[in-house]
């Protein structure tokens, strides 16, 4: 029964593809047991959040072929959505409970602006943190992909859009906190659980979101739509002549990627305890591209690990006396080396090594079998 055989091999392949994802998540969940240090745990949680952000870029870049240099825009929008809700939960010194946030008082704002009003509801804020980045991406994608903009032009447009939004946020100080961002936030509280940035609850919240976003992204790549998106990456016009509306598929993956980045942004606010225009800055956005390339953009787990490892290294280097001034150079060199010698990143390297081990083992197995055959022949 050939169809039965192929079915079970398909299941085996699914398990094999899912295994690295589950192993990595198991390690993430087990870490607090080994790491009994709240400060370090907060730091790791930060890197995990950046990992989610990088997975979102891997989805649009590695699978969809859309190099979004403004991925941090979605991240920043999510982060501000969460910060606005948490800011409204604080009790301002000047105006008392449910009064104006402090920075608005300093800027002589009289009433809470209309677009702040709904953020009194945490559920609304969380929904907005996912939906607003997705809608902004879908609108931008509608113009780009309907107009058949591809390649480097997509990168330029996304980067420029992010810079514009960044400048608007800095400029509109009375509504956004401007350059300082939104600081001095209340703690996130869901169903009576308080998420202290340095507490275990926050770490597990982040770890759960890591698992969730990796699974959602993985599930998408396994659907037929995910397959079509990869086909578009390889040969856009060929897909069109099979009757698929290419732009809609591109818009979908672009918006899905933005929603995951928005989730990461919300978590980042919780972990960092503030939102800042630097969260949608060029430096972060380009770093995400480096992490994704180093980890392997065509592997979701690879992109995640790339971010955690490289961002972790960045953190360590920038704090060490020896590399205080030069750590950006080290990062640049790493990027160049990976692009030159590991086009598929660390994930590609892992694949090559695994295949080599399997082949060695098979060869060894054959060698033993031959040896047995020879001894049998000689007796």
Partner 1 sequence: MNSHLDLRDVSVSFNGFKALNALNMSVRKGELRCLIGPNGAGKTTALDIICGKVKPSAGTVSFDGTALQDLEEYEIARAGVGRKFQVPSVFRELSVSENLEVARARRTSVLGNLRWNIGNTGRADVERLAELVGLTDELDRPAAYLSHGQTQWLEIGMLVAQDAELILMDEPTAGMTAQETRKTAELFARLKGRHTLIVVEHDMGFVKAIGDVISVMHMGQMLAEGTAAEVEAHPEVRRAYLGSGGISHA
The continuous run of DSSP H or E covering 189 comes out as strand 188-190
Cβ proximity to partner 1: between 47 and 249 the closer is 249
For residue 130, the minimal CB distance to partner 1 (Å) is: 17
Pairing of strands 188-190, 193-195: antiparallel
Verify binding: residue 245, partner 1, rule CB under 8 A. Answer: yes
For residue 226, the minimal CB distance to partner 1 (Å) is: 8
For 129, counting Cβ atoms within 10 Å of its Cβ (0-12 exposed, 13-18 middle, 19+ buried), the class is buried
Cβ proximity to partner 1: between 202 and 298 the closer is 298
Pick one of 191, 234, 340, 375: the residue that binds partner 1 (CB under 8 A): 234
Cβ proximity to partner 1: between 238 and 366 the closer is 238
Verify binding: residue 192, partner 1, rule CB under 8 A. Answer: no
Place of tokens 């939906």: 131
335 close to 294: Cβ distance less than 8 angstroms: yes
Pick one of 39, 114, 241, 341: the residue that binds partner 1 (CB under 8 A): 241
Kindly report the three-state secondary structure assignment for every residue of 308-351. Answer: HHHHHHHHHHHHCCCCCCCHHHHHHHHHHHHHHHCCCHHHHHHH
Which tokens belong to 100? 């104006």
Verify binding: residue 219, partner 1, rule CB under 8 A. Answer: yes
Q: Name the phi and psi angles at 101, rounded to 5.
A: -60, 150
For residue 213, the minimal CB distance to partner 1 (Å) is: 17
For residue 240, the minimal CB distance to partner 1 (Å) is: 5
**Measured distance CA(197)–CA(49) in Å, rounded:** 13
Cβ proximity to partner 1: between 117 and 245 the closer is 245
> Which residues are registered as beta bridge partners of 275?
182
Between the CA of residue 373 and those of 121, 359, 361, 364, 366, what are the distances in Å?
75, 21, 18, 14, 10
For residue 340, the minimal CB distance to partner 1 (Å) is: 20
Cβ proximity to partner 1: between 2 and 192 the closer is 2
Cβ proximity to partner 1: between 111 and 224 the closer is 224
Pick one of 3, 8, 36, 378: the residue that binds partner 1 (CB under 8 A): 3
**Measured distance CA(32)–CA(308) in Å, rounded:** 16
Q: In this chain, which stretch among 74-82, 103-111, 218-226, 283-291 interacts with partner 1, using CB under 8 A?
A: 218-226
285 close to 159: Cβ distance less than 8 angstroms: yes
Pick one of 108, 114, 192, 243: the residue that binds partner 1 (CB under 8 A): 243
Pick one of 12, 37, 98, 223: the residue that binds partner 1 (CB under 8 A): 223
How big is the site for partner 1, counted in residues (CB under 8 A)? 31
Q: In this chain, which stretch among 38-46, 104-112, 125-133, 227-235 interacts with partner 1, using CB under 8 A?
A: 227-235
Q: Please choose, from the candidates 128, 53, 50, 47, the residue with its C-alpha nearest in 3D space to the C-alpha of residue 84.
A: 128
Q: Name the phi and psi angles at 221, rounded to 5.
A: -65, -20
Verify binding: residue 148, partner 1, rule CB under 8 A. Answer: no
302 close to 310: Cβ distance less than 8 angstroms: no
Verify binding: residue 249, partner 1, rule CB under 8 A. Answer: yes
Cβ proximity to partner 1: between 94 and 148 the closer is 148
Verify binding: residue 233, partner 1, rule CB under 8 A. Answer: yes
Convert residues 5-44 into a mask of x (bound to partner 1 by CB under 8 A) and - (unbound). -xx--x----------------------------------
Verify binding: residue 85, partner 1, rule CB under 8 A. Answer: no
The torsion angle over the Cα atoms of residues 232, 51, 257 and 120, rounded to 10 degrees, is: 180
Give the footprint of partner 1 on this chain (CB under 8 A).
2-3, 6-7, 10, 219-220, 222-225, 227-228, 230-231, 233-235, 237-246, 248-249, 252
């Amino acid at each position: 029964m050939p169809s039965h055989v192929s079915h079970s091999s398909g299941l085996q392949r699914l398990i094999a593809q899912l295994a690295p994802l589950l192993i990595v998540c198991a390690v993430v969940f087990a870490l607090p047991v080994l790491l009994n240090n709240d400060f370090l745990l907060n730091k790791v949680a930060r890197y995990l959040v950046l990992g989610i952000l990088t997975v979102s870029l891997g989805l649009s870049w590695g699978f969809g072929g859309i190099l979004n240099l403004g991925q941090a825009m979605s991240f920043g929008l999510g982060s501000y959505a969460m910060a606005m809700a948490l800011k409204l939960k604080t009790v301002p010194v000047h105006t008392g409970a449910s009064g104006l946030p402090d920075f608005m008082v300093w800027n002589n704002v009289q009433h809470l602006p209309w677009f702040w009003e709904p953020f009194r509801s945490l559920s609304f804020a969380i929904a907005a943190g996912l939906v607003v980045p997705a809608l902004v991406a879908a609108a931008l994608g509608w113009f780009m992909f309907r107009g058949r903009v591809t390649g480097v032009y997509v990168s330029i447009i996304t980067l420029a859009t992010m810079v514009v939004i960044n400048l608007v946020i800095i400029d509109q100080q009375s509504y956004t906190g401007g350059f300082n961002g939104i600081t001095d936030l209340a703690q996130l509280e869901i169903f009576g659980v308080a998420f202290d940035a340095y507490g275990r609850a926050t770490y597990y919240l982040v770890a759960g979101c890591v698992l969730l976003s990796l699974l959602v992204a993985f599930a998408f790549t396994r659907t037929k739509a995910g397959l079509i998106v990869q086909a578009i990456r390889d040969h856009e016009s060929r897909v069109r002549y099979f009757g698929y509306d290419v732009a809609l598929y591109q818009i979908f993956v672009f918006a899905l990627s933005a929603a995951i980045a928005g989730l990461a942004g919300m978590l980042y606010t919780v972990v960092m305890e503030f939102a800042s225009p630097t969260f949608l800055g060029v430096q972060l956005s380009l770093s995400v591209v480096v992490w994704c390339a180093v980890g392997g953009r065509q592997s979701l787990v690879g992109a995640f690990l790339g971010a955690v490892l490289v961002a972790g290294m960045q953190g360590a280097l920038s704090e060490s006396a020896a590399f205080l001034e030069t750590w950006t150079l080290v990062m640049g060199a790493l990027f160049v080396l990976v692009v030159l010698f590991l086009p598929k990143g660390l994930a590609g390297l892992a694949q090559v090594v695994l295949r080599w081990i399997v082949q060695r083992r098979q060869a060894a197995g054959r060698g033993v079998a031959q040896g047995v055959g020879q001894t049998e022949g000689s007796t």
